[in-house]
Structure 1
Amino acid sequence: MPYHLNLEAVLEMPCPLICIAGSTASGKSALAFQIAQQYNGVIINADSQQMYQGLPLLTAQPSLKERKEVSHTLYDCVPNEAPGRHVMEWIDDVVILVHRCHTSGYLPIVVGGTGFYLYALEEGLSPFPAVKRMTPSELLEHSTDQSLYERLIQVDPVSAKRIPKEDKQRILRALCVYSSTQAPLSYWQEMPKIKFLSHCFWHKIYMHGEKSVIQHRIQTRFKQACFQGLCDEISKFSLTPASPLSRSIGIKSLKSWQNDERSWQDAKTSFLTETWHYAKRQRTWFKRYFTADHIITLE
């Protein structure tokens, strides 16, 4: 950093939109900050964890100093309470923010590592009706001898083949859809998608780094977060199984150290390993689904 990007041609297009993607610790936020400073931009968060309140250091949210210098939106704005926000709620907010940017002369910069959010924003989503959130006990009220996955096989075999039986969150979502609409999730997914920002001129940037580079950056960021008070932040945070941030990468490793269940070195190693595995999954997803106009290779 800094990167020498010339986006003048992009700004000349109608309704320009910058989209920055990459794995955790790839430098997305720093690049977005640089572009926002140079081109009068507003940074819009596309990370499913950074929207929640409670763990700004663990989720690597922009600092207060950075937020004062450049406009950041959809960060640290949602209480960490179950059941969390759905992607459609996030899209509704982004569409409004992008429109405001264009009407006010600002450049919208969508940045994050939650690939599905970015994909849904660009490619659209199937038109789902309102879905009531339900608990496992409510869903299995008349089928107490079944597991959630067995129930899903019964009512929506197509989705059951797509969703791993270990993915409780997606299974629960699919069953809620069926219970609320009396139609399987797969039925709604096959309907034509509604696009949200097709009128925008998208310029997509991907931050790429080799394994050793990303691992080194993960280690560096972890050290910096510890220096800034990560352990104190974790100690004040109460794990609640159903809350969104209780599923954050690495939090259980650090909590187990604070509870004297493992050594610091063991907790640190576990944290870094878990974070790298998450980055690796992100890299695989972006390689498959994210077509970049510009690739920045980290050194």
Structure 2
Amino acid sequence: MLMPLSVRPQPMAKTLFYSLLILKVRVIPALWHSILNKNKLLPPSEKLISVVAGPTASGKSAFALKLAKDKKGCVINADAMQLYKELPLLTAQPSQEEQADIPHSLYGILDAGERINAARWCILAKQEIKRCFELGLHPILTGGTGFYLKALIEGLSPIPDTSDEMRRNSLAKARELGSEKFHQEISKFDPELTERINLNDTQRLAHGWAVYQETGKPLSEWQKLPKTPPPAEWKFDIFLILPEREKLYERIEKRFDLMLENNVMEEVTNLSRRIDKNEVERDASIIIAHGFRALRGYLKGEKTFEDARHIGIKDTRHYAKRQFTWFRHQINDDLDNIKSVEIVSP
């Protein structure tokens, strides 16, 4: 059948007309197919993130630096204590030379009086990961605060934040009652929480107390709510740095002695003065940095130097042992967003 003359293509436009007609016939069905099956035809491209985790003094930083050089990467801190400015030596933060050589972020960003938790760290870490991708760099998360890493990879339940006043009140309550009694009080309204949190973990117990006081709902109940996962295209390659125990303990002792040789007492003295002037609360998060309380005790004349050194090393070893166990059992490699888990024994 002939087209009306008014719509029939003229000779000069004939080729273009039929090309467009053919294109329309081919593309329109394909377009609808794409719309109806967009998740299958247009999957989000994977964005790979490396995670270097393990106990303190295991060699995470050195491994992360090598990885960053090999992959043109940026290193993002996942250690709660290394977020603080005040104790860079005692918390074994990367040196200024290392940070100048490879892009680093989230090191020394908080004042000693500030508080941090997994939810806030996740917000900061996600911002840094996105920034790395925008700059064409490979994000490398490294640190020993396993709960932070687990929260980022698996997602967090929507636990409400508590007010500064309530946080202060809960810590004051912990001091008033003492560790054991405070633990017992919380077990009355949140036994699930106290079953899994050690009675000496004042910060986490105080958080449980504060959440219950402000919401009337136990923290363990909030934690059962569905988690908000990271972006679907983010995939994680995990490197667990797990040296032999005895080798790790030797490294802890050598590193602590090296810190003492490198004037770690100067930064301990400066923070100690701020605490004495009430510029920093006596139960601030930074206080639990391993070795600080023992060395502060030496400054106060409460311990000999050798006792302070021994306690600092012992406390760090105990912490490393707990970290070792945690990383062995808490990394769930069945998750869809974990591409691989590799155990490295330096």
- TM class by smaller structure: 0.7 to 0.9
Report how far residue 160 of structure 1 moved.
Answer: 3.8
TM-superposed deviation, 1:18: 0.3
Residue 19 in structure 1 maps to residue 67 in structure 2: no
Deviation of the 1:263 alpha carbon:
2.6
**Deviations for 1:43-100, whole angstroms, at most 9, x for unmatched residues?**
0000000001100000000111111111110000011105x11211110111111112
The match for 2:271 is: 237
What's 1:120 paired with? 151
Q: How far apart, in 2, do the equivalents of 1:230 and 1:65 lie?
A: 18
Shift of 1:258: 2.5
CA 1:160 to 1:273, structure 2 compared with 1: closer, same or farther past 3 Å? closer
In 2 relative to 1, CA 260–187 (structure 1 residues): closer, same or farther, beyond 3 Å?
Answer: closer
Letter in 1 for 2:319: Y
Cα–Cα, structure 1 residues 271 and 194, in superposed 2: closer, same or farther, change >3 Å? same
Q: Give the structure with the higher percent helix.
A: 2
Percent identity between the two aligned chains: 34
1-side partners of 2:172 and 2:300: how far apart? 35
Report the Cα distance in structure 2 between the residues aligned to 1:263 and 1:97, rounded to whole angstroms.
43
1:106 equivalent to 2:137? Answer yes
Match for residue 220 of structure 2? 186
Which protein is bigger by CA-based radius of gyration?
Answer: 2
Change (3 A) 1:158 1:273: closer
Specify the alignment match of 2:344 in structure 1. 296
**Match of 2:15?**
none
- Alignment CA distance shift 1:284-1:96 (3 Å): same
1:190 CA drift (Å):
1.1
Distance 1:259 1:138 in 2: 24
| Partner secondary structure for residue 266 of structure 1 | helix
TM-score where L is the length of structure 1: 0.86
Specify whether residues 263 and 137 from structure 1 end up closer, same or farther in structure 2 by C-alpha distance, changes over 3 A only: closer
Alignment pair present for 1:217 and 2:258: no
SS of the counterpart of 1:58?
A: coil
Give the TM-score normalised by the residue count of structure 2: 0.75
| Distance across 2 between alignment mates of 1:123 and 1:150 | 30
- Specify the alignment match of 1:286 in structure 2: 327
Deviates more, 1:68-77 or 1:248-257: 248-257
Which residue number corresponds to residue 91 of structure 2?
Answer: 59
Aligned residues: 280
Counterparts of 1:66 and 1:138, CA distance in 2: 37
Check 1:138–1:41 CA distance in 2 against 1; reply closer, same or farther (3 A cut).
closer
Distance 1:276 1:150 in 2: 28
Which has the higher mean CA deviation after the structures are superposed, 274-283 or 169-178?
Answer: 169-178
Which structure 1 residue ranges, 5 or more long, are not aligned?
1-12
Q: What do residues 270-296 of structure 1 show as CA deviations (whole Å, max 9, x unaligned)?
A: 211111111111001111112562221
Unaligned runs of 5+ in 2: 1-44, 276-280, 334-339
The answer as to whether partners of 1:18 and 1:205 remain within 8 angstroms in 2 is yes
Asked if the contact 1:126/1:189 (under 8 Å) is kept, the reply is yes
Alpha-carbon shift at residue 151 of structure 1 (Å):
4.2
**What does residue 68 of structure 2 align with?**
36
- Number of the residue aligned with 2:289: 248
Helix, strand or coil at the partner of 1:261:
coil
Note closer, same or farther for the CA distance 1:156–1:256 as it changes in structure 2 (3 Å cut): closer
Letter matched to residue 169 of structure 2: P
Provide closer, same or farther for how the CA distance between residues 148 and 217 of structure 1 changes in structure 2, counting only shifts above 3 A. closer
Q: Over aligned residues, Cα RMSD in angstroms? A: 2.2
Q: Deviations over 1:198-237 (max 9, x none)?
A: 4212110011111221112112212322232112221222
Relative distance call for 1:138 and 1:221 in structure 2 (3 A) is closer
Q: 2:160 aligns with which of 129, 154, 167?
A: 129
- Equivalent position amino acid for 1:50 in 2: Q
Structure 1 residues 41 and 176: alpha-carbon distance in aligned structure 2, compared to 1, 3 A threshold: same
Report the AA paired with residue 264 of structure 1. F
Give the deviation of 1:139 after TM superposition: 9.1
Q: Partner of 2:81: helix, strand, or coil?
A: coil
CA contact (8 A) 2:170 2:207 kept: no
Distance of aligned partners of 1:281 and 1:99 in 2 relative to their CA distance in 1, 3 Å threshold? same
Ranked by relative contact order (alpha carbons within 8 Å, sequence separation 6 or more), the top structure is: 1
Decide which of 57, 73, 77 is 1:45's aligned counterpart. 77
